Homo-oligomer: A and B are copies of this chain.
């Protein structure tokens, strides 16, 4: 498969040694102009391409970065969040000639198996980790093995670099919007509370209520897992509690909730106002259109890859502080919150 051209062959054709060809191909300075051109010519004419494995065996670099997602396939691809994230990552990688390996870490039977096969085998120069729980064993492993990595979403460990949005502030903004519209009995469907984003958005919810001297009623806080089904389930639980508004920690759960509310004969926003988080394309198409917090997801992806490639190409000193980048989310007011229309 493919032309089995080797350095050796090119060297022979160009009448030079392997080393010279290697130097030319790698743009090393110490090659005479004449030889350089002669070699390039042969390379072009033959379509020679260095063998990646041979190369990385000696350089210890692969020019591949991994995108690792510790989730099941289904949840992953259902949520456009990941598409946008991937899009951003891909753009950076393409621009800097890195390849991208997509890995779902989900080994129920032999935990750590994927890690060994994908990371420890030397396949990757670094890793972007998305959507990990704070206690995911992946993080300490990467740290221990000194693998360059960047998380999408914050992590408490001082040593990890990440890109995140101000989830606390964003959630607070969403809930305060509801409060300003006159709501007092506001429920929330949270994300998984062992994920930083889940925790932070709940914190923002609490802060908003407290800032407005509204007592926090724990029965109005229902944990979801970012899936539509969990949003529906949570909404069903909230049905009897006469909340006048619901803040869902992502749009997908808001969709689940919306269906349940509608089926229960409640009108949104007249009977119950609803606010989501993410601003996926579906949000705008929904009836009623979903008010939500827009995250710059694609930018987060691109930026995390930027940080990663930087980490890879200029390894920081041991004590150097990790990078923490916080981007902003914005409130997109549509009809589901009841402020317009």
**Chain A residues in the interface with B (C-beta under 8 A):** 1-3, 47, 49-54, 56-57, 62, 64, 73-74, 76-78, 80, 82-84, 86-87, 90-91, 94, 97, 99-104, 106, 116-123, 145-148, 255, 281-282, 285-287
Contact = CB atoms under 8 A, between A and B. Distances in A.
A2 B73 contact: no
Given A1-B147, A49-B121, A86-B102, 17 more contacts: A3-B145, A47-B120, A49-B116, A51-B122, A52-B53, A52-B121, A53-B122, A54-B57, A57-B57, A77-B83, A77-B87, A90-B104, A99-B103, A100-B101, A255-B285, A285-B287, A287-B287
A254 to B, nearest CB: 12
A1 B74 contact: no
Contact of A100 (B91, B102, B106, B148): B102
Q: How many copies of this protein are present in the complex?
A: 2
B99 A123 contact: yes
A101 B99 contact: yes
Nearest to A79: B83
A47 B286 CA distance: 50
A102 B104 contact: no
Contacts of A287: 285, 287
Contacts of A76: 87
A19 B100 CA distance: 33
A64 B100 CA distance: 11
Contacts of A147: 1-2
Q: A100, A101, A121 — which one has the most chain B CB atoms within 10 A of its CB?
A: A121
Interface centre among A53, A54, A145 (most CB of B within 10 A): A53
Contacts of A121: 49-52
Nearest to A86: B77
B103 A118 contact: no
Given A2-B145, A73-B87, A76-B87, A52 B123 contact: yes
16 contacts: A1-B145, A1-B147, A2-B120, A2-B122, A2-B147, A3-B145, A49-B117, A49-B121, A53-B54, A53-B56, A64-B123, A77-B90, A90-B104, A99-B101, A99-B103, A281-B282
A77 B73 contact: no
Nearest to A259: B285
Q: Which 3 A-B pairs have the closest CB atoms?
A: A77-B87, A49-B120, A52-B121
B73 A91 contact: yes
A102 B77 contact: no
A53 B62 contact: yes
A84 B78 CA distance: 8
Contacts of A116: 47, 49
A148 B2 CA distance: 10
A259 to B, nearest CB: 10
A73 B100 contact: no
Contacts of A281: 78, 282
Contacts of A99: 101, 103, 118, 123
